Amino acid sequence: MDGKWKCKADKGNVGIEEEWFKPKNYDPLENDLLDIHIPNSFNLLEGYDIYEGIFWHFHEFNLTYSEDKTSFNNFINFQGANYITQAWLNGVYLGEFHGGFTPFRFKITQQLKKKNNLLVVRTDNTRRKGQVPDYCFDWFNWGGIYRSVELLRLHKNRITDIVIKTTVKSLQESIIEIKYNIIGNLSFRWQILDTDHKSVLFEGDVLQKNRKGELSQIIKKPELWSPDNPNLYYLKVISKNPESSGEILYETHFGIRQIEIKGKYVYLNKKRIYFKGISLHEEYHPYGRTIPYEKREKDIKNMKSLGLNALRTAHYSHDEALNEIADNLGILILEEIPVYWFGDYKSNETFKVAAKQMRNLIKRDINHPSVVWWSVGNEVPIEMRECSRFFKRMMDWVRRFDDTRIVTFVSSRMFCDLTKRYADVGAINMYWGWYKGSVKMINTIVDIVHTPIFDKPLFYTEFGAGAKYGFHADQTRQKKFSEEKQLQVLDYTIRTLNSKDYIAGWFIWIYRDFRSLIKQEKYQKGFNRKGIVSEKNQKKLMYYRLPHIINKKRKLISSRLISSLLWCIFFPFAYLLTYLGDVVGASGHIKRINKGKETERERLQKQGKKVVDEN
Ligand code: GCB
């Protein structure tokens, strides 16, 4: 369904009342309709740069095949649209989804016609408390249908929810287990193809009457998947039902690999692995979030050439294309849902929205060998009881669907996060040398952070420093935002972390500068500048230095006894201060966004750009 669509803003929220979704009310020649190529964010249309609100999208289409409603079900599948999406086909309501980054679909069989179908989609990216993410977040709120839309025609007898689990028994032997669901009645042949994707290694036939089924296969001397050696096998499921005989019902590549945690260490395929990572927002100038495949590929190649082996797709999942690239090129992916900063953690509705986003994400990515971690949120007020409860519940929810990956959340609470005891690993964000204190504090602080989870690995999931590309410390006496300052902070942090046994890995914040309304300082001007490349991919000093630093260590003196004592002494004060800070911080966040938006509007207007009002 990608291609030419029409769209228009609904500033007064009158579309539903005026029934814009009805074919009789749609006139493609209407003056206020704009052309848009879906997938694409409406923020890339002239005047709508910072628009947040309701946008309607219209698409007319004919079927290219003859429809058989007795044998097939049809769905409209959205890979990603932000934030509330509602859809109508030929005037009939299909449903709605809340969330900006995970796929969802609506069943459409009854409404589908051979010719002149009208699909109408209303998206609304208005910020609201209680949404996931909540009102304030540090990235740009790209709106609209920015990932592909597909018309899916699926047999009524079909196989779904295929989950491939691989267990590495030893380097000599692995087990492949394939779980599936059947809708209707199905006989099928399954095949596992070798890494050349041609020769059949194993195959079998199944006559399935029950809903659920499972296959298992031992594979001797498999070629294991790892970042250094991203070998992919292939699974094919072929129908043997008379009405669809020979048709491929499902195919995917998969890797044989296993991630395990034993004590303080993380293992990949029985070998200890240290994550050398970086984060990335899904944004690329001038495409917004709708990034061409080869640009994503180039990013991953660059990261690998720097010596990195892991990528955190903070703070939400990116287009699935990224995971495919990661599977092929070999980079470990840490995925997250955007439960971020302050939210309505008391609300069961918020939990349900987050749980649904997580469920859809797991369904999408369960068979990607590159994906090794599910994070259920980032930097939340975890010391608050309702928040801690929300996060424990969310981690249990994830474990119901996947027991093969790391389940955790990312914290910024140095002292008073006891909920991390329930996570598989600790994950901490701290900006020593940037937001607070000297970077030299890291050695001691990180030991303190590890104290309550001394028996588990700790990931340092964010550290960084802003740098405006081209701004050097020797040009003025101001060091902040210089490329040199960034290098100094990152260099020191990486060397320190590399020297600590219990650190399982680190992630630089961030690969590329990205848009953010709350970054309005004179060097930022609407961008978070912590990238090691600018928004235009200009490489900063750190980019060039990273390969030389990446494996370097420092001589450290640390004492577990002292850090444990410090933790015990500071915990009550830190707890109180953090709690109070969060109570105050929650209200300030909304003001920060509104102020940022105003500043951005003024800047655009000064540049002579049109800015369409939201009301
Ligand atoms: C953080 C957040 C991240 C921000 C970053 C920053 O701790 O997790 O979303 O963008 O700090 O640059 O302030």
CA 51 to chain centre: 23
Cα-to-centroid distance, 7 and ligand 1 (Å): 33
Contact 410, 373 (CB under 8 A): no
**pLDDT tier at 548 (50, 70, 90 boundaries)?**
very high
Q: Mean pLDDT over residues 108-115, rounded?
A: 90
CA of 431 to the centre of ligand 1 (A): 9
To the nearest whole percent, how much of the chain has pLDDT over 70?
100
What per-residue confidence (pLDDT) applies to 613? 85
Residue 130 CA to chain centroid, in angstroms?
Answer: 19
Distance, CA 71 to ligand 1 centroid (Å)? 50
pLDDT tens across 451-460, in order? Answer: 999 999 999 9
Atom of ligand 1 nearest to the CA of 516: 10
Query: Would the CB of 281 count as within 6 Å of ligand 1?
Result: no
Tell me, in angstroms, the distance from the centre of ligand 1 to residue 138's CA.
7
CA–centroid distance, 4 to ligand 1, in Å, is 36
Q: Ligand 1 pocket, 600 CB below 6 A?
A: no
Task: State the chain's mean pLDDT as an integer.
Answer: 96
> Would you say the CB of residue 378 lies under 6 angstroms from ligand 1?
yes
Q: How confident is the model at residue 4 (pLDDT cuts 50, 70, 90)?
A: very high
* DSSP states along 415-453: SS--GGGGSSSEEEE--BTTTBS-GGGHHHHHHHHHGGG
Which whole-number Å values give the CA distances from 173 to 33, 218, 272, in the listed order?
A: 60, 7, 19
pLDDT of residue 579: 94
152: helix, strand or coil? strand
Beta bridge partners of 215: 178
Structure tokens at 201: 């290694």
**Where does residue 58 fall: left (phi above 0), alpha (psi -120 to 50 degrees), or beta otherwise?**
beta
Residue 137 CA, closest ligand 1 atom number: 9
Strands (E), 430-510: 458-463, 503-508
CB 232 within 8 A of CB 142: no
CB of residue 379 inside a 6 A radius of ligand 1: yes
pLDDT of residue 589: 86
Tell me what percent of the chain is helix, strand and coil, each rounded to the nearest 5: 25, 30, 40
CA 265 to centroid of ligand 1, rounded, Å: 26
Q: How far is the CA of 462 from the centre of ligand 1 (A)?
A: 8
CA 167/CA 225 separation, integer angstroms: 12
Rg (CA), the chain: 25
Residue 408 neighbours by CB distance under 10 Å = 27
In this predicted structure, what is the pLDDT of residue 585? 85
Q: Looking at 20-100, which runs of residues are DSSP E strands?
A: 34-38, 54-61, 72-78, 81-82, 84-89, 92-98
**C-beta of 530 in contact with ligand 1 (< 6 A):** yes
pLDDT in tens, 112-153: 999 999 999 999 999 999 999 999 999 999 999 999 999 999
462 lines ligand 1 (CB under 6 A): yes
Report which residue type is found at 106.
Answer: F
Assess whether pLDDT exceeds 90 at residue 586.
no
Query: Could you tell me the CA-to-CA distances from 404 to 59, 372, 391 in Å, in that order?
Result: 41, 8, 19
Contact 383, 400 (CB under 8 A): no
Q: How far is the centre of ligand 1, averaged over its atoms, from the C-alpha of 503 (Å)?
A: 20
pLDDT at 85: 98
Residue range 418-441, pLDDT digits in tens? 999 999 999 999 999 999 899 999
Q: Separation of 366 CA from ligand 1 center, angstroms?
A: 27
Question: What are the E-state strand segments in 72-148?
Answer: 72-78, 81-82, 84-89, 92-98, 104-107, 117-124, 144-145
37, two tokens: 């190529």
Give 353-370 pLDDT, tens digit per residue.
999 999 999 999 999 999
Nearest CA owner, ligand 1 atom 4: 138
Q: What is the pLDDT of residue 494?
A: 98
pLDDT in tens, 363-409: 999 999 999 999 999 999 999 999 999 999 999 999 999 999 999 99
Q: Is residue 282 within 6 Å of ligand 1 at its C-beta?
A: no
| Residue having the nearest C-alpha atom to atom 7 of ligand 1 | 429
Cα separation, 44 vs 288, in Å, equals 7
Q: How far apart are the C-alpha atoms of 135 and 125, rounded to whole Å? A: 11
* 430 CA from centroid of ligand 1 (Å): 9
What average pLDDT does the segment 323-350 reach? 97
For residue range 204-263, what is the model confidence (pLDDT) as tens digits? 999 877 789 999 999 999 999 999 999 999 999 999 999 889 999 999 999 999 999 999
The predicted pLDDT at position 495 comes to 98
Q: Is 535 in the pocket of ligand 1 (CB under 6 A)?
A: no
Distance (angstroms) between ligand 1 centre and the Cα of 204 equals 50
534: Cβ below 6 Å to ligand 1? no
pLDDT confidence of residue 168: 98
Residue of minimum CA distance from atom 3 in ligand 1: 138
Percent of the chain residues topping a pLDDT of 90: 92
Tens-place pLDDT, residues 463-492: 999 999 999 988 777 799 999 999 999 999
Residue indicated by tokens 């929300």? 390
515 lines ligand 1 (CB under 6 A): no
Q: How far is the CA of 341 from the centre of ligand 1 (A)?
A: 10
Candidate from 316, 379, 490, 509 with most ligand 1 atoms within 8 A of CB, to mutate? 509
Q: Cα separations (Å) of 461 from 133, 227, 428, 431?
A: 19, 19, 6, 11
Ligand 1 atom closest to 315 (CA): 9
- pLDDT in the model for residue 214: 95
Cα–Cα distance between 412 and 148 in angstroms, integer?
34
Find out whether 538 and 496 touch, Cβ atoms under 8 Å. no
Mean pLDDT of 50-63: 97
What is residue 65's predicted lDDT score, i.e. its pLDDT? 82
The amino acid sitting at 397 is W
pLDDT at residue number 60? 98
Task: State which of 141, 528, 529 you would mutate to test the pocket of ligand 1, scoring each by most atoms of that ligand within 8 A of its C-beta.
Answer: 528
